[in-house]
Amino acid sequence: MIKMLRQFFFLCVFVSTTAEAVVAPVPAPPKQAATSFLLIDFNSGRILAEKNSDEQIEPASITKLMTAYVVYKELDAGRLTMDEMVTISEKAWRMGGSKMFVEVGKKVSIEDLLKGLVIQSGNDATIALAEHIAGSESTFADYMNQYARALGMNGTNFVNSTGWPHKDHRTSARDIATLGKAIIEEFPERYKLYAEKQFTYNGIPQYNRNKLLWRDDSVDGMKTGHTESAGYCLISSAKRDDMRLIAVVLGTRSEKARADVSQSLLSYGFRFFESSKLYAAGEGLNKARIWKGENENLSLGLKEDLHVTIPRGQYKYLDAVMEVNKDIVAPVEKGQQLGTVKVMLDGEEIISRPLVALQAVAEGSIWQRTKDQIIQLFQ
């Protein structure tokens, strides 16, 4: 018997130390030749790599992400339709830089102009959309800034719709990632356009400038940018299995460099991290005693899905701790915070979310309130 116990103890120790040994350390992100960059997990929002992510710089044509975002908002609100026709102004026609090659005075559909904006990065298409929606490009820029503030893009100020150089036209890698995430989250069907490699208009075929669309099948967006002062920029997004990453790279020296740096960041993120959904929104995670209510028990959960991004192979070391408020007294509103969920990795807190009431509980009868008050006194 003693011999068997010793063998069992040895086996337990061996399994424990072996499990700890297989957890490989995560290397530091690769150094990148860019003014700034940011790599985040789409679902959890965790930052996996960054450099000068809050530094305000010129975004160049990445600006057009916000132009498109405003157009999507107008479409969803019913103030715009895809088959609506837009008359091309002389300003839009004369605009320099990348073009869709629309002609002055001609009518072009919103659908075609959106393709010209997203796929070809046409400055002419962009200004035509801005003028059609707001009357002038400067008024449209005010509209853009309102949405930027609503999204929490606190380091951003737009002066125009195209990203044409201007000393007051500024944003940051963090704000660009926020905007990219919002487009994918709010407009998943419209986001599919960012994966299109080519669009032909007026007999002129043009190709998407995002070279990662040809390199990596998991990449499905988003937007390039370039001016002499901003350098070569790219926000890209890729999805492998259930994990989506967003990489923002600003201020590289060439088209190849912005693609190489972006690919390097995405590869690093997918290689060394994994993302999982721990709990779904509305899922009952805990039952709390509620006093003086029409019900005695209250189900608690989360308002939104809870995702975590952790180093690969460490999922088994995750643990969740739920802290529930003491002496919860009715009435309680649905969505009211009554505690906290803390997710721990190897004893260290990595994320926390409010634990909320999943249903409302009204105040109980006089009898119920009196009974509960007596019970509480004795407790």
Do 191 and 246 touch, CB atoms closer than 8 A?
no
Which residues contact residue 16 at a Cβ distance below 8 angstroms, ignoring those fewer than 6 apart? Answer: none
Strands 286-291 and 328-329: parallel
pLDDT digits (tens, 9 = 90+) for 284-342: 999 999 888 898 899 999 999 999 999 999 999 999 999 999 889 889 999 999 999 99
User: Looking at the structure, do residues 251 and 290 belong to the same domain, yes or no?
Assistant: no
Q: Which of 89, 121, 237, 275 is catalytic?
A: 121
Domain that holds residue 120: 36-272
Q: Residue 18 pLDDT more than 80? A: no
User: Looking at the structure, do residues 124 and 260 belong to the same domain, yes or no?
Assistant: yes
Query: Residue 114: what pLDDT?
Result: 98
Is 136 a residue of the active site? no
Picking from 16-20, 101-105, 205-209, 373-377, which range would have the lowest pLDDT averaged per residue? 16-20
pLDDT digits (tens, 9 = 90+) for 84-136: 999 999 999 999 999 999 999 999 999 999 999 999 999 999 999 999 999 99
User: Looking at the structure, do residues 261 and 299 belong to the same domain, yes or no?
Assistant: no
Cα(94)–Cα(92) distance, rounded to whole angstroms? 6
Is 326 a residue of the active site? no
What whole-number percentage of the chain has pLDDT above 70? Answer: 93
Picking from 22-26, 28-32, 321-325, which range would have the lowest pLDDT averaged per residue? 22-26
Do 116 and 181 touch, CB atoms closer than 8 A?
no
**272, 293, 320 - which closes a domain:** 272
Cα(113)–Cα(122) distance, rounded to whole angstroms? 9
Neighbouring CB atoms inside 10 A of 9's CB total 10
What are the beta bridge partners of residue 47? 40
Neighbouring CB atoms inside 10 A of 76's CB total 12
User: Looking at the structure, do residues 187 and 327 belong to the same domain, yes or no?
Assistant: no
User: Looking at the structure, do residues 175 and 312 belong to the same domain, yes or no?
Assistant: no
Q: Which of 36, 44, 61, 236 is catalytic?
A: 61
For the chain, the residue count is 379
Alpha-carbon distance values, 349 to 232, 237, 310 (Å): 38, 28, 12
Q: Which is nearest to 125 in space by CA: 112, 113, 108, 107? A: 113
User: Looking at the structure, do residues 213 and 350 belong to the same domain, yes or no?
Assistant: no
Nearest-5° angle of CA 219, CA 221, CA 227?
120
**272, 289, 312 - which closes a domain:** 272
Nearest-5° angle of CA 3, CA 7, CA 10?
140
Residue 15 included in any domain: no
Is 61 a residue of the active site? yes
Q: Which of 36, 64, 236, 292 is catalytic?
A: 64
Q: Which is nearest to 243 in space by CA: 224, 267, 262, 260? A: 267
Q: What is the mean pLDDT of residues 17-39?
A: 75
The 8-class DSSP code of residue 168 comes to T
Q: Residue 7 pLDDT more than 50? A: no
CA within 13 Å, CB half, 180: 32
Do 221 and 239 touch, CB atoms closer than 8 A?
no
Total domain count, the chain: 2
**272, 288, 323 - which closes a domain:** 272
User: Looking at the structure, do residues 188 and 65 belong to the same domain, yes or no?
Assistant: yes
Query: Residue 12: what pLDDT?
Result: 38
Q: What is the mean pLDDT of residues 74-88?
A: 98
Query: Residue 8: what pLDDT?
Result: 33
